[in-house]
Amino acid sequence: MDDNGSSPDRPDRTTVEFTVPEPVDDDPVDELLGSLIERFKDKSVPDLEAIHERTTIRNVVNYWEVDQWLEPGWEVAAEIVQFSGESLADALVFTHPQKSYDIILKPRETFVPTDDIEIYVLDHTSGTRRQLVRTVPTLDTALQHAVFQYTHRQFNPDAPYLLSMTQPLLDGEEMPDDDLTLSE
């Protein structure tokens, strides 16, 4: 072995040279980068003080309280959903691993999460989502329907009597436990 540490199997480190290619003026990548830099260079950055927090359904539900009333296996979580022709919206989705459907509670107005709630059934077998009942007037009413009726083991999402399940409440009658408040 000689003094500089080279061996016949490894080239001498002093003889290896690297060359950097010269930039080409008509390179499409350089043109693209240049145009992107120009486009975003003059854009103003929004002031963080101008950004406002908005309340959605995920912010007003007491999940722990809802979970206490659900039958075993059912879970509730906030999810972002999109219905055809509408913008993204926060909704509550009730799921059960052994059921072929989910129950979805979606506020008619995303940023008014406690009024006018639409209730849907998402059928995993057919891949369709349909409105279960007419819009209910409050989030508490919708949560009570979901907890006491639609996630109950006797509930059949294909039954023709579904509208009659909510009719008493819509006519002013109360649920069995009217002291239950599931939203904060």
Identify the H or E element spanning 138: strand 128-138
pLDDT in tens, 27-67: 778 788 877 777 777 666 677 777 778 888 888 888 888 88
Domain for residue 12, yes or no? Answer: no
- In the chain, the number of structural domains is 1
17 within some domain: no
Q: Within a domain: residue 101?
A: yes
- The answer to whether position 6 is within a domain reads no
148 belongs to a structural domain: yes
Domain that holds residue 147: 57-170
Domain presence at residue 119: yes
- CA dihedral (26, 28, 29, 35) in degrees, to 10, reads 90
125-177 pLDDT, tens digit each? 887 788 777 788 989 988 888 888 888 877 777 665 554 444 444 444 444 44
Is residue 93 included in any domain, yes or no?
A: yes
SS (H, E, C) 92-136: EEEECCCCCEEEEEEECCCCCCCEEEEEEEEECCCCEEEEEEEEE
Residue 27 lies in a domain: no
Enter the tokens of residue 54. Answer: 């908005």
